[in-house]
Amino acid sequence: MATVLLLAVPVAIHAAWNDPYPAHEQGQNILYTAFRERPKHLDPARSYSSNEYDFIAQIYEPPFQYHYLKRPFQLVPLTASAMPVPVYLDRQGRPLPAGAPVASIAYSVYTIRIQPGIRYQPHPAFARDDRGVPRYHQLTAAELARIHTIGDFPHYGTRELVAADYVHQIKRLAHPRLHSPVLSVMQDYVVGLKDYAANLRREHARLNRKGRGPALDLERYPLKGVETIDRYTYRVTIHGKYPPLLYWMAMPFFAPMAPEVDRFFSQPGLRERNLTLDWYPVGTGPYMLTVNNPNRQMVLERNPHYRDERYPAQGEAGDRQRGLLADAGRRLPFIDRIVFSLEKENIPYWNKFLQGYYDRSVVPTESFDQAVRFTGSGDTDISDDMKVRGIHLRTSVATSTYYLGFNMLDPVVGGNNERARKLRRAISIAIDIEEQISIFRNGRGIAAQGPIPPGIFGYLPGCAGLNRYVYQCVRDAPQRRSLSEARRLLAEAGYPDGSDRRTGRPLLIYFDTPATGPAEKARFDWYAKQLARLNIQLVVRATDYNRFQEKMRKGDAQLFEWGWNADYPDPENFLFLLYGPNKKVGGEGENASNYDNPEFNRLFEQLKNLDDSPQRLHLIGQALEVARRDAPWIWGVHPRQYTLDHAWLHNAKPHQMANNTLKYLRLDPALRRERREAWNRPVRWPLVLVGGVLLAGLIPAVVLYRRRERSTAA
Amino acid sequence: MMAYVLRRLLYAIPILIGVNLLTFWLFFFVNSPDDMARMHLGMKRVTPAAIAQWKEARGFDKPLLLNREAAGVEKLTDTIFFRHSLRLFVFDFGRAEDNRDIRREIGERMGPSLAIALPSFLVGLLTYVSFALLLVFFRASYVDVWGVVLCVVLMSISTMFYVIGGQYLIGKLWSLVPISGYGDDGPGAIRFLLLPMAVGIAAAVGLRTRLYRTFFLEEINKDYVRTARAKGLNEWRVLFVHVLRNALIPILTGVVVVIPALFLGSLILESFFGIPGLGSYTIDAIHAQDFFVVRAMVFLGSVLYIVGLILTDISYMLVDPRVRLY
Amino acid sequence: MVPHILWTDVLIYLLLAVIAGFAVYASRHEHLRTPWRQVTRRPMAMGALVVLLAFVAVGLLDSVHYRPRLPGSATQTSSEVRSALDALLSPLRRRTEKTYSAPFATHAHGRETVLRPDGALARAYPRLLHGGAHLTDGESRLADILVKVATATGTVLLLWLPLAAWVAWRQRSPGDGWAGGWQRLWRGESELPWRTLLLTLVVLLAAIANLAWLSAYYHVLGTDQVGQDVLLKSLKSVRTGLVIGTLTTLVMLPFALFFGILAGYARGLIDDVIQYVYTTLSSIPDVLLIAAGVLSLQVYMAHHPETFDNVTTRADWRLLFLCLILGLTSWTGLCRLLRGEVLKLREADYVLAARSLGASHFAIMARHLLPNVMHIVLIAVVLDFSGLVLAEAVLSYIGVGVDPTMDSWGNMINGARLEMAREPMVWWTLGAAFLFMFTLVLAANLFADAVRDAFDPRLRR
- Cα–chain center distance at B220: 32
- Give CA–CA dist B259/C32, Å, rounded: 40
Give the pLDDT score at A64: 96
- Residues C194 and C50 sit within 8 Å (Cβ to Cβ): no
The conformational region for residue A443 under phi > 0 = left, psi -120 to 50 = alpha, else beta, is left
**Closest CB to C284 among B153, B283, B298:** B298
Q: Which chains pack against C, by 3+ Cβ pairs within 8 A? A: A, B
Comparing B110-124, B230-244, C231-245, which segment has the lowest mean pLDDT? B230-244
CA distance C96 to A142: 71
B157 touches chain C (CB under 8 A): yes
Give residue-wise pLDDT tens across range A229-248. 999 999 999 999 998 999 99
Distance CA(A74)–CA(B251), nearest Å, equals 70
Q: Is A338 left (phi over 0), alpha (psi -120 to 50) or beta?
A: beta
Q: Is the Cβ–Cβ distance between A516 and A544 less than 8 Å?
A: yes
Residues 202-231 of A with CB under 8 A from C: none
CA pair distance A536, A512, nearest whole angstrom:
16
To test the contact with chain C by mutation, choose from B8, B10, B13, B15 the residue with the greatest count of C C-beta atoms within 10 A, namely B15
Q: Helix or strand or coil: residue A532?
A: helix
Q: Which of residues 111-130 of C touch A (CB under 8 A)?
A: 111-113, 120-123
Of the candidates C65, C219, B42, the one whose C-alpha atom is nearest the C-alpha of residue A39 is: B42
- Rg of chain A in Å (alpha carbons): 30
Nearest Cα to Cα of residue B154 among B211, B194, B196: B211
Which of A107, A71, A93, A114 has its CA nearest to residue A658?
A71
Task: Give me the pLDDT at residue C306, please.
Answer: 64
- CA atoms of A40 and A49, how far apart (whole Å): 9
B:15-44 residues touching chain A, CB 8 A cutoff: 31, 35, 38-39, 41-44
pLDDT digits (tens, 9 = 90+) for B5-14: 788 888 888 8
Distance CA B122, CA B89 (A): 31
Burial class (CB in 10 A: 0-12, 13-18, 19+), A280: buried
Is residue C160 over pLDDT 80?
yes
Measured CA to CA, the distance from residue A516 to residue C395 in angstroms comes to: 13
Please tell me the distance in Å from B165's CA to the nearest CA on chain C: 10
Cβ within 8 Å, pair B138-A701: yes
Q: SS3 letters for C37-66? A: HHHHHCHHHHHHHHHHHHHHHHHHHCCCEE
**Are C331 and C256 in contact, with CB atoms under 8 Å apart?**
yes
**Cα B172 to Cα A321, B195, C4, distances in angstroms:** 36, 12, 48
Q: Which of C13, C5, C4, C23 is nearest to C60 (CA)?
A: C13
| Average pLDDT, integer, range B23-40 | 69
Which is nearest to B193 in space by CA: B258, B121, B273? B273
Interface touch B109/A295, C-beta < 8 Å:
yes
Which residues have a Cβ under 8 Å from the Cβ of A368 and sit 6 or more positions away?
A442, A444, A642
> A555 to chain B, minimum CA–CA distance in Å?
16
Cβ–Cβ contact B298 with C under 8 A: yes
- Closest approach of B259 to chain C, Cα-based (Å): 14
Specify the length of chain B in residues: 326
Pairing of β A508-513 and β A559-565: parallel
- C417 close to B (CB below 8 A): yes
**C323 or B287, greater pLDDT:** C323
Please give the Cα distance from A649 to B297 (Å, whole number): 43
Mean pLDDT confidence for C445-459 = 80
CA distance A465 to A449: 7
Cα separation values, C269 from A286, B326, C362, Å? 70, 19, 18
Q: Which of B29, B153, B305 sits opposite C299 (nearest CB)?
A: B29
Q: Are the C-beta atoms of residues A170 and A187 closer than 8 Å to each other? A: no
Distance, CA of A25 to CA of C442 (rounded, Å): 48
- How far is the first Cα of chain A from the last one, in angstroms, to the nearest whole number? 34
Quickly list DSSP for A578-624.
G-GGGBSTTT-SSBTT----HHHHHHHHHHTTSPSSHHHHHHHHHHH
The predicted-structure confidence for B144-194, as pLDDT tens digits, reads as follows: 888 888 998 998 898 889 988 888 888 888 888 888 888 876 777 888 889
Residue numbers in chain A where pLDDT is lower than 70: 1-15, 210-213, 364-381, 515-519, 544, 546, 711-714
- CA B35 – CA B164 distance, rounded (Å): 35
Q: Which residue of B has its CA nearest to C443?
A: B156
> DSSP for C345-393?
HTTSHHHHHHHHTT--HHHIIIIIIHHHHHHHHHHHHHHHHHHHHHHHH
Nearest-by-Cβ selection for C438 from B156, B294, B301: B156
Could you tell me which chains touch chain B, where touching means 3 or more CB pairs under 8 A?
A, C
Residue B43 pLDDT > 60: no
Cβ–Cβ gap B30/C292 under 8 Å = yes
**What's phi and psi for A120, nearest 5 deg?**
-75, 160
Residue type, C88: L
- What size, in residues, is chain A? 714
The answer to whether residue C118 scores a pLDDT higher than 80 is: no
CA end-to-end distance (rounded Å), chain B? 8
> Could you give the 3-state DSSP secondary structure of residue C424?
coil
pLDDT at residue C436 greater than cutoff 50: yes
**Could you tell me if the ipTM is greater than 0.95?**
no
**Residue A352 and residue B179: Cβ atoms within 8 Å?**
yes
Smallest Cβ–Cβ distance between A181 and the set B44, B54, B180 belongs to B44
Instruction: Name the residue among C79, C399, C421 with its Cβ closest to that of A367.
Output: C421
Q: Sheet containing C82-83: which strands, arranged edge to edge?
A: C2-3, C65-67, C82-83
pLDDT of residue A712: 60
- Under 8 Å CB pairs connecting chains B and C tally to 107
In whole angstroms, give the CA distance from residue B214 to residue B94.
46
* Min Cα–Cα distance to chain C from B112, Å: 20
Instruction: Give CA–CA dist C108/C114, Å, rounded.
Output: 13
Distance from C-alpha of C166 to C-alpha of C181, rounded to nearest angstrom: 10
The closest alpha carbon to C445, from C44, C54, C59, belongs to: C44
**Distance (Å, rounded) from C-alpha B199 to C-alpha B219?**
30
What distance in Å separates the CA atoms of residue A234 and residue A226, rounded to the nearest whole number? 7
Residues in chain C: 461
Query: pLDDT at position A13, please?
Result: 47
Measured over the CA atoms of residue B264, residue B266, residue B268 and residue B269, the dihedral's sign is negative
User: Residue A293: which H helix or E strand, with range?
Assistant: strand A287-293
Query: Which residue, A46, A48, A301, A25, is CA-closest to A150?
Result: A301
What is the per-residue pLDDT across C360-369, written as a single tens digit (0 to 9) for each?
888 888 888 8
Q: Is B221 on the interface with C (CB under 8 A)?
A: yes
**Which class for A488: exposed (0-12), middle (13-18), buried (19 or more C-beta within 10 A)?**
middle
pLDDT tens for each residue of C198-222:
889 999 999 999 998 898 889 999 9
Give the per-residue pLDDT at C76: 64
CA distance A283 to A291: 15
Share of chain B above pLDDT 70, in %: 83
Residue C125 φ/ψ, nearest 5 degrees = -85, 110
Contacts of B57 in chain A (CB under 8 A): 176-177
A327-336, C271-280, C288-297: which has the highest mean pLDDT?
A327-336
